[in-house]
A and B are shown apart, each in its own frame.
Chain A
Amino acid sequence: MDTGIIMLILALGGTSFLIRFLPAVFLNKFALPKIVEEWLSYVPVATMAAIVVPELLQGEGRVIYFSWSNLNLLSAIPTIAVAAKTKNLGYSLATGMGTMALLRFII
């Protein structure tokens, strides 16, 4: 069992390294077509939204949970305001965690 876990961790690490490394090292040999570059430019913003939107809306086993008990959604409001205005990771984190702590304290 123990060696099983270690083998699993090694395999997870190895495959993760390959997907992080291979595109960077092979695609840098030549210039990518303009349309591919443009496509890739949309990847970060799309990924972040695809991760965070469900995180904020899901709750109580539902995909969309609009409720005053959805603290993630409530905490997101000031966080979005600060993030949009400052584009600063630290301020956004402080706002988000601060709001969440406050809501937990009140509710």
Chain B
Amino acid sequence: MIPNQVKLGIKKALPIGMGYFPLGLAFGVIAENAGLTANQVGLMSVLLFSGSGQFIAVALISAGASFWTIIFTILLVNSRYLLFSATISRFVKKLPAGLTALICHGLTDETFVVSTTHFQQNDVDARFWLSLNITSHLVWISSSILGAVVGVFIPNLDKFGLNFALPAMFIALFFMTAAHLKAVYCGIIAGLISLLLIHWGMSEANVILATVFAASVGVVLNKWIPGS
């Protein structure tokens, strides 16, 4: 018998998996072309579990970047996880540290939004959370290995619209997290700042800097414009 919370976690992970599958395939193909073996691809997907992080890491590897450049860049690109982790601290208060570690390792943009949205209306349940994260992670691992193994035989996936999986996911995640009008304004500010930072050539730090700035604006706006 599978507990209901586990089933619910798997069910909520399915749309995430639907997005991860083409992305993982694409990642596997690109990583294999860059000279990584299927085992290395699998290890990276198990340990790093970060779409944008892994794509950038492989791009840097094939560009011959140094060890520390790669580590530092990925830390910067993934620094939003620090903020996500801080956000979930209130949900893991009652969980043992080992379980928290396991859950935190599965923290991605997608699992973060789906779990925190879920916990706004439901009690925190480690079984739900773990099965959501692990299911998503398994899809990511297996599809990236598959991409690395059979990559050369896969036709151009772009014509099936798979290259839009990531933007489509983030559009959905945006609306899932935009709980009220102020949050939407905050998002618009973040988007504009992000563009501006890229325009200024800061295409690694744009997400974290835009987030920090826009969240601060959100707090200030809320102070000045109460209600609504």
**Which residues from A are CB-within-8-Å of B52?**
51
Task: Give Cα A4–Cα B36 distance, bound, in whole angstroms.
Answer: 12
The smallest C-beta distance from B80 to any residue of chain A, in angstroms, reads 5
The smallest C-beta distance from B136 to any residue of chain A, in angstroms, reads 11
Task: Give Cα A55–Cα B174 distance, bound, in whole angstroms.
Answer: 13
A24, B92: Cβ atoms under 8 Å? yes
Task: Give Cα A72–Cα B163 distance, bound, in whole angstroms.
Answer: 9
Task: Give Cα A12–Cα B69 distance, bound, in whole angstroms.
Answer: 11
Q: With A49-B188, A80-B171, A100-B164 known to touch, is A19 a contact of B81 (CB < 8 Å)?
A: yes
**Which residues from B are CB-within-8-Å of A28?**
89-90, 92-93, 100
B78, A19: Cβ atoms under 8 Å? yes
Contact of B215 among A39, A75, A96 (CB under 8 A): A39
In the complex formed, the residue of A with least CB distance to B85 is A23
A25, B97: Cβ atoms under 8 Å? yes
Report how many residues on chain B are interfacial, defined by Cβ distance under 8 Å: 97
Contact of A42 among B89, B161, B168, B186 (CB under 8 A): B186
B167, A72: Cβ atoms under 8 Å? yes
Contact-residue size bin, chain A (C-beta under 8 Å from the other chain): 35 or more
**Residues 1 to 55 of chain A near chain B (Cβ within 8 Å):** 4-17, 19-28, 32, 35, 37-55
Does B142 lie at the interface of the complex (its beta carbon under 8 Å from any beta carbon of A)? no
The smallest C-beta distance from A27 to any residue of chain B, in angstroms, reads 4
In the complex formed, the residue of B with least CB distance to A57 is B195
Task: Give Cα A75–Cα B171 distance, bound, in whole angstroms.
Answer: 11
Interface secondary structure of A, over-half rule: helix
Which residues of A line the B interface, CB within 8 A?
A: 4-17, 19-28, 32, 35, 37-58, 63-64, 71-72, 75-76, 79-80, 83-84, 87-90, 92-102, 104-105
Which residues of B line the A interface, CB within 8 A?
A: 14-16, 18-19, 22, 36, 40, 43-44, 46-50, 52-53, 57, 61, 67, 70-71, 74-75, 78-90, 92-93, 97, 100-101, 104-105, 107, 109-110, 112-114, 116, 158-179, 183-184, 186-195, 198-199, 206-207, 210-211, 214-216, 218-219, 222
Shortest beta-carbon contacts, A-B, top 7: A13-B47, A96-B168, A53-B191, A101-B161, A100-B161, A90-B15, A92-B172
Contacts A40-B86, A48-B109 known; list 17 others, CB within 8 Å.
A12-B53, A19-B75, A20-B104, A20-B105, A42-B215, A43-B87, A45-B179, A46-B215, A49-B194, A51-B170, A52-B174, A83-B171, A87-B172, A88-B172, A93-B19, A93-B172, A97-B162
26 interchain pairs, CB-CB under 8 A = A5-B40, A12-B48, A12-B57, A13-B44, A13-B46, A19-B75, A24-B89, A28-B89, A47-B80, A48-B177, A50-B191, A50-B194, A50-B211, A51-B52, A52-B167, A56-B167, A75-B161, A75-B168, A83-B175, A84-B175, A89-B16, A93-B168, A97-B22, A97-B162, A98-B161, A104-B158
